[in-house]
A = this chain, B = another copy of it.
Amino acid sequence: MNVLRQNTDYALRLLVNLADRFNGKPAATNQLAQAEDISPQFAAKILQKLQKAHLVASVMGPQGGFVLARRPAKINLLQAIQAVQGMVAFNRCSPGAEGCRRKKYCPIAPVVDRMQNQINDSLASITLQDLLDNAPTKGADVKKNKSGNKTFEAE
């Protein structure tokens, strides 16, 4: 099984797309959905969750759409993931001492906590800016269309 839900995968792509347009005009849901191969309705739903978490901001009315709420360097993966699928818990008993009444005797609890912290730290250390910088799309295999958005060549 996967740690990231499909939801979250989509959300990350949407966020990177928005990060790439940072300081530009709002991007319409349909535009984003098409660029990332997501059903428009579903994209809308995901964007709503991101908005609730204050990672993106919506602009209503004609010419409206979504913009990133702040600089790409100020949004990290942990925040993005939590916005869409909630906490990434290593085990049921992860978040705190709660959840399992056997916790204080549990032989795996210490390890679970350690793994949990590692995961959180790793995710929090990666920002959207890092994703932009490391993206393999920088070089060849990619061309820009007239509106400046990236498109992918068919394989």
Contacts and interface: CB of A to CB of B under 8 A. Distances in A.
B88 A3 contact: yes
Interface stretch (A40-48, A49-57, A59-67, A126-134): A126-134
Interface in A119-155: 119, 122-123, 126, 130-132, 134-137, 141-142, 152, 155
Q: How large is the interface on A (under 10, 10 to 19, 20 to 34, 35 or more residues)?
A: 35 or more
B152 A102 contact: yes
Interface of A: 1-6, 9, 12-13, 16, 77, 85-86, 88-92, 94, 101-102, 104-111, 115, 118-119, 122-123, 126, 130-132, 134-137, 141-142, 152, 155
- List the 7 closest A-B pairs by CB distance, nearest first: A107-B135, A4-B91, A16-B107, A110-B134, A2-B89, A3-B90, A105-B137
